[in-house]
Amino acid sequence: MVEPFDRRVIEVGDGHQIHIEQSGNPDGVPVIVLHGGPGGGCSPYMRRFFDPAHYRAILFDQRGCGRSRPHAEVQANTTAHLIADIELIRQHFGIGRAILFGGSWGATLALAYAQTCPDAVESLILRGVFLGRRSELDWFYGGGAARFFPDRWAEFLAPIPEAERGDMIAAYHRRLFSGDVAQETRFALPWLMWENALAGLETSTTGHAPPDYARTFARLENHYFANDCFLEDNQLLRNRHRIEHIPAVIVQGRYDMVCPPDAAWDLAQGWDKAELRMVAASGHALSEPRITAELVRVMDGLRQRIPA
């Protein structure tokens, strides 16, 4: 496993501190890694996609999660704030143009940043595309995915009174932001387990997660989804013209139940510099063997096009 050569915490304003690590070649091609969630945080697993002799991988925990502080904080925590944080990181390290590498919510954020700062982006490597559209949220929290996982959906519904089940994001929001930490933690686990249960094509879940992690993840993700990811509906597709000059590779699991493949398809259609790679027999998770292997192939292939 590649170990970081640098770890630091920087102030980004509004009382937030974000944790950053760098690994690989300090003089290599910079890659800014954007984790999923929102609220998921980075893990050592995310370093394995980048040849340490060629790439300078920059991972950071977004506001409120992972090793960033304060934990589970939603004040001054919006998509615009995260875009500003990425730009601050780029300037902090004196980086010109960087590759953006993001999956799921990380792909959403990569697209939003690139459309805001297109001159700062060398390439986009996206996995399990989520465009932040209301239709995508309705699929996952409005009963679409439930048709394939009725047992898991029943577990997700169970803590919520029947009268409130017409809007599961709002129902969980009331409990995840009740001000009672014990209650927030109790309702965080079924929120997290619903997503985890669908993330891998063959992944089984134990139903357990560290309580603090579950609460942080559920609060941040729910906060963003309750606010439509702080994006106008279809914004990322409508503004795609701003980034069509940027090369992109989209790696998408054919059987992704969290972020169905039609979003990746919609994003790639008519984008001449984008290559969509549908990965057979794969779901959503970064750790799925075929997804991992494809992302390694993508990054190894970029070594020839973008010299260190």
Render pLDDT for 124-158 as a digit per residue (tens, 0 to 9): 999 999 999 999 999 999 999 999 999 999 999 99
- Do 122 and 9 share a structural domain? yes
Q: Which domain holds residue 205?
A: 135-229
- Percentage of the chain with pLDDT > 70? 98
- Do 246 and 207 share a structural domain? no
Where among 196, 229, 262 does a domain terminate?
229
Look up the pTM and report it: 0.97
Run of H or E including 10? strand 4-13
- Do 82 and 8 share a structural domain? yes
Number of domains the chain contains: 2
Q: Is 51 a catalytic residue?
A: no
- Do 261 and 117 share a structural domain? yes
Question: What confidence category does residue 215 fall into, taking pLDDT thresholds of 50, 70 and 90?
Answer: very high
> For the domain that residue 301 is a member of, what is the CATH number?
3.40.50.1820
In this prediction, residue 308 carries a pLDDT of 79
Residue with tokens 């102030």: 11
- Residue 234 zone, left/alpha/beta (φ > 0; ψ -120 to 50; rest): left
Where among 185, 205, 229 does a domain terminate?
229
Cα angle: 7, vertex 11, 13; to 5 degrees: 155
Distance of CA 197 to the CA centre of its chain: 17
Tell me how long the chain is.
Answer: 308
Q: Is 68 a catalytic residue?
A: no
- Do 261 and 161 share a structural domain? no
Q: Rounded to an integer, what distance in angstroms lies between the CA atom of residue 296 and that of residue 290?
A: 10
Which residue in the list 104, 123, 223, 282 is annotated as catalytic? 104
In this prediction, residue 306 carries a pLDDT of 87
| Residue 65 one-letter amino acid | C
Distance of CA 289 to the CA centre of its chain: 19
Q: Is 16 a catalytic residue?
A: no
- Do 10 and 126 share a structural domain? yes
| Of the listed ranges 114-123, 175-184, 195-204, the one predicted with least confidence | 195-204
- Do 276 and 129 share a structural domain? yes
Q: How many CB atoms lie within 10 A of CB 1?
A: 7
- Do 256 and 123 share a structural domain? yes
For the cut 70, the answer to whether the pLDDT of residue 205 exceeds it is: no
In this prediction, residue 202 carries a pLDDT of 72
- Do 122 and 111 share a structural domain? yes
Q: Helix or strand or coil: residue 253?
A: strand
Do residues 283 and 259 lie in contact, with contact meaning Cβ atoms separated by under 8 Å?
no
Of the candidates 104, 41, 140, which has an alpha carbon nearest to the alpha carbon of residue 250? 104
Cα angle: 101, vertex 134, 73; to 5 degrees: 60
